Amino acid sequence: MIGRLGAVLALAALVAGCAHSRLKLEKGEEGEVIEAEGWTPVDANDAVGTKQRALADAQKKAVERVVGVFISAKTRVDQAVNVDSRILANVQGYLRKYDVLDEREEAGLHKTRIRALVLYRKIGDDLRQFGLMRPPPPPGNPKVVVRLRAKSGEAAMGEAAAQGVRRALVEKGFAVVDESQAAAVAVSTDAASAAALGRRASADLVVAGEAEAYPIEDARLAGFKSYRARVTLQAVRSSGEVMSQKSQEASGLDPAAEVAQGKAYDAAGGLAGEAIANELSKLLKSQVTVTVRVLGLPTLDKARAFIDDVRGNPSVEAVTLASFEPGRAELSVMTNDVSGEELAAMILRAKKLDLTVRSVSAYEVEVEAR
C-alpha cells in the first residue's frame, strides 16, 4: 500500500514539475512565476462568460503583484487611473504563459487560481516610460521652480537647459511648479532675485543658474556639428538661503548646429539637475528647517511660552529665536523629517496660546495669536 502511495505522490510531483517547467522564459526575457486567484459573481445564464471574467481577474492580479513591487502603495493609489489604463488594461502583454490550477464556485462567486509567468522587466520598463515609477517626494514635498539663462542671450537655449533640469527633478520626486506661474518674473541668477522668484511663484525652492555652450571642431565628425555645454545651478529657498550649488557639462551631436547645441544644453541641464536633486534630497532628509513667524505676541515672555510649546514636540530638534519685536516673532525650527504643514498642525495643538494659521508652505509657517 505504501509503495503504491509513494508512486502516486511521485507521479503527482512529476506532473506538477512538468506544468511548472512549461512556464519558461524566452531568450532575453526576465520574468517570474506568480500564483494569483481571481473571482467574479456567478452568472447562471452565462457560464462561459463567468469563467472568462474570473480568469481575467486572476491574470490582472498576477500583474498587479509585480506592479506593487515597482511602485509604492501611495503611488498606486495616486496613479490608479494611469496604472489601470496603461498597464492593467493590457495584462496579456505581460503574461508569457499561464496554467489554471483550480476552479470552483464558492458563496456565489466563481474563483479561478492560476500560475502565470509574468514579465516583470517589461512591466518595469513601461512603468518607467509612463512616468509611474517616480520615487516618493523628499521631506516636505517642496514646490520647485526652475529658471535658467543662457549666457549667449538665446532664450531657446536657456529653456533647453531648464527642460533638462526639470526632467531630472521630476524623476527624483520633486514637484516642479508650472513655468507659467512665474512668467512675469525677470530672469536672474543671484540668490536675492531667485528668492523673489520663489515668492512670486509660490514655490519653496528655486533652482536657478546659467548655461553656456561652445562648438567643438573636429574633422572626424564628417559633417556633423558638436557642442559642449556647461550648466551651473544653485538651489535657493524663498528666504534667500542657498542650499546647494552644482555644475555639470555634456555634449550634443547633430547634422544641424542649432539642434546639436540644444541637445548639449538639455543633456548638461539633466546632469546638473540630477546632481542638485541628489544633494537636496540628502539635506532635506537629514533635517528640515522651517521658518515660523508668530504675529500678535506682545512680550518676550509670550514668545518664550510659545517656543517652549514648540520644543515640547518630539519631532522638533531645535528652536531658535531669529528676531523679536512686540507683535512679531520669527523662529527657526529644525525638525526630524517634519514639513511646514505638519509643524503647523502641531503648533495649533499648543495649549498656552490661542492660535490661528495665516499661511503655510513646506518651509514657512505664519500663525497669529488671538
Residue 64 sits in a domain of what CATH number? 3.30.1660.40
Phi, psi of 222 (to 5 degrees): 50, 55
Given this model, what pLDDT does residue 320 score?
A: 81
How many domains does one find in the chain? 3
If you search the block for the grid coordinates 504563459, which residue do you land on?
97
Q: Are residues 167 and 279 in the same domain?
A: yes
CATH code assigned at 345: 3.30.70.60
Residue 40: give the domain boundaries.
27-129
Residue pair 370/350 in contact (Cβ under 8 Å)? The answer is no
CATH code assigned at 182: 3.40.50.10610
Q: Are residues 227 and 311 in the same domain?
A: no
Is 152 a domain residue? yes
Q: Are residues 167 and 256 in the same domain?
A: yes
Q: Is the pTM of this model over 0.85?
A: no
Given this model, what pLDDT does residue 88 score?
A: 82
C-alpha to C-alpha distance for 141 and 364, rounded to whole angstroms: 13
C-alpha to C-alpha distance for 139 and 129, rounded to whole angstroms: 25
CA atoms within 13 A on the CB side of 228: 7
Is 299 a domain residue? yes
Which are the contacts of 40, defined by CB distance < 8 A and separation ≥ 6? 50, 53, 54, 57, 109, 110
C-alpha to C-alpha distance for 326 and 300, rounded to whole angstroms: 8
Q: Are residues 277 and 311 in the same domain?
A: no
C-alpha to C-alpha distance for 268 and 228, rounded to whole angstroms: 9
Given this model, what pLDDT does residue 28 score?
A: 66
Is 1 a domain residue? no
Supply 196's cell numbers. Answer: 523673489
Given this model, what pLDDT does residue 17 score?
A: 43
Q: Are residues 277 and 323 in the same domain?
A: no
Given this model, what pLDDT does residue 165 score?
A: 92
C-alpha to C-alpha distance for 60 and 94, rounded to whole angstroms: 10
Q: Are residues 302 and 365 in the same domain?
A: yes
Closest residue by Cα to residue 174 from 278, 94, 266, 87: 278
Domain boundary, last residue among 232, 265, 286: 286
Is 357 a domain residue? yes
Burial of 13 (0-12, 13-18, 19+ CB in 10 A): exposed
Q: Are residues 242 and 150 in the same domain?
A: yes
Domain boundary, last residue among 286, 319, 335: 286
Q: Are residues 164 and 270 in the same domain?
A: yes
- Rounded to 5°, the CA angle 80-84-86 comes to 115
C-alpha to C-alpha distance for 152 and 209, rounded to whole angstroms: 13
Q: What single letter denotes the amino acid at residue 163?
A: Q
Enumerate residue ranges in the chain where pLDDT < 70.
Answer: 1-23, 25-26, 28-29, 69, 71-78, 133-136, 139-140, 178-189, 285-287, 337, 350-352
What residues pair up with 209 in beta bridges, in sequence order? 148, 233
C-alpha to C-alpha distance for 57 and 236, rounded to whole angstroms: 49
